[in-house]
């Protein structure tokens, strides 16, 4: 498969939100190279359809009240060019107190638990703020919750499910509607040599039973629409980590989940993003 590389000039205050909007519209990966935001789309979508999706993302950005003056250009990349680009840009990073996100072509750091992630064609290398924040929070919550079942809704590369399993959860489940993400997540489970990690393609209905900790790193509107399914998958007295909420939008998310019988026990602010830990 080949790809299109788009280089956007975006106001700093809008870059995180624009990243999430692009990902929700089929973007495979994003990294920041100031002052540019570089994003990748598969050529199978077609350049006209990609431009239409970008226009849609720009309209949503303006509707949110964030700076919407964005310029961009693009180039075509072969599969070989894509792989070489990611190898140059995706470097190991430490997360939390004990974790390290490591691509398969790098050596795992001593003294840390390595989460091996080959980004392939999916979003979620651990370089985005919300992903790092989720990892650090799951690491912290792992010491506070029963190490039973973990569920990641919108799993992407599977990074959160893999981390949860390595942090002691007996079983981890990930679900995503994107077939490219499913392929990447399943390959990453194999790279990490893990058992009891299951990746489902489809919506949240593909998961079964209830979980000690549910993670959902999604935009506010998606969190609200999935709220009944998320709460239904929380064990009584179980926790959920809701992330990907832009600052200023958390009250609507809190109201939606509170009406379903949950209580907010933590509100965590990381720059322009808000995460919530709720208990059923």
**Higher-pLDDT residue of 19, 242:** 242
Provide the pLDDT for residue 124. Answer: 56
The predicted pLDDT at position 81 comes to 66
- Total Cβ atoms within 10 A of residue 276: 21
Q: What domains does the chain contain, in order, with CATH numbers?
A: 3-87 (3.30.70), 120-279 (3.40.50.150)
Give residue 173's pLDDT: 95
pLDDT digits (tens, 9 = 90+) for 152-181: 998 888 899 999 999 999 999 999 987 877
- Predicted TM-score of the model (pTM): 0.77
89: Cβ–Cβ under 8 A, 6 or more apart, which residues? 31
pLDDT of 6-27, one tens digit each? 888 888 778 778 887 887 787 7
Least confident of 115-119, 128-132, 176-180, 229-233: 128-132
Q: Residue 79: pLDDT above 80?
A: no
Model confidence at 232, pLDDT cuts 50, 70, 90, reads: very high
State residue 134's pLDDT score: 86
Which pLDDT value is given to residue 80? 65
Point out which residues pair with 4 in neighbouring strands. Answer: 41, 76
Return d(Cα 36, Cα 52) in angstroms, integer.
Answer: 20
Q: Which contacts (CB < 8 Å, 24+ apart) does range 35-40 have?
A: 35/9, 36/7, 36/8, 36/9, 37/7, 37/8, 37/9, 37/10, 38/5, 38/6, 38/7, 38/8, 39/5, 39/6, 39/8, 40/3, 40/4, 40/5, 40/6, 40/77, 40/82
Q: What is the mean pLDDT of the chain?
A: 84
Mean pLDDT, range 132-153, rounded to an integer: 83
Residue 133's nearest CA partner among 274, 20, 279 is 274
């Amino acid at each position: 498969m080949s790809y299109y590389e788009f280089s956007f000039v975006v106001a700093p205050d809008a870059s995180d939100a624009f990243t999430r909007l692009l990902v929700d519209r089929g973007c495979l990966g994003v990294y920041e190279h100031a002052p540019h935001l570089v994003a990748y789309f598969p050529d199978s979508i077609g350049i006209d359809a990609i431009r239409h999706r970008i226009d849609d993302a720009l309209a949503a950005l303006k509707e949110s009240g964030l700076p919407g003056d964005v310029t961009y250009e693009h180039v075509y990349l072969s599969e070989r060019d894509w792989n070489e680009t990611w190898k140059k840009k995706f470097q190991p990073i430490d997360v939390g107190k004990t974790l390290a996100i490591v691509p398969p072509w790098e050596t795992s750091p001593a003294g840390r638990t390595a989460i091996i992630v080959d980004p392939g064609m999916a979003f979620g290398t651990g370089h985005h703020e919300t992903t790092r924040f989720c990892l650090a929070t799951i690491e912290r919550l792992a010491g506070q919750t029963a190490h039973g079942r973990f569920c990641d809704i919108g799993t992407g590369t599977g990074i959160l499910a893999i981390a949860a399993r390595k942090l002691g959860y007996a079983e981890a489940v990930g679900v995503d509607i994107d077939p490219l993400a499913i392929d990447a997540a399943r390959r990453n489970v194999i790279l990490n040599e893990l058992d009891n990690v299951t990746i489902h393609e489809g919506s949240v209905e593909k998961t079964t039973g209830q979980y000690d900790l549910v993670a959902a790193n999604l935009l506010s509107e998606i969190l609200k629409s999935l709220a009944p399914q998320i709460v239904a998958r929380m064990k009584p007295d179980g926790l959920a980590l809701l992330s990907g909420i832009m600052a200023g939008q958390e009250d609507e998310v809190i109201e939606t989940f509170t009406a379903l019988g949950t209580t907010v026990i933590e509100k965590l602010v990381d720059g322009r993003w808000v995460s919530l830990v709720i208990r059923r």
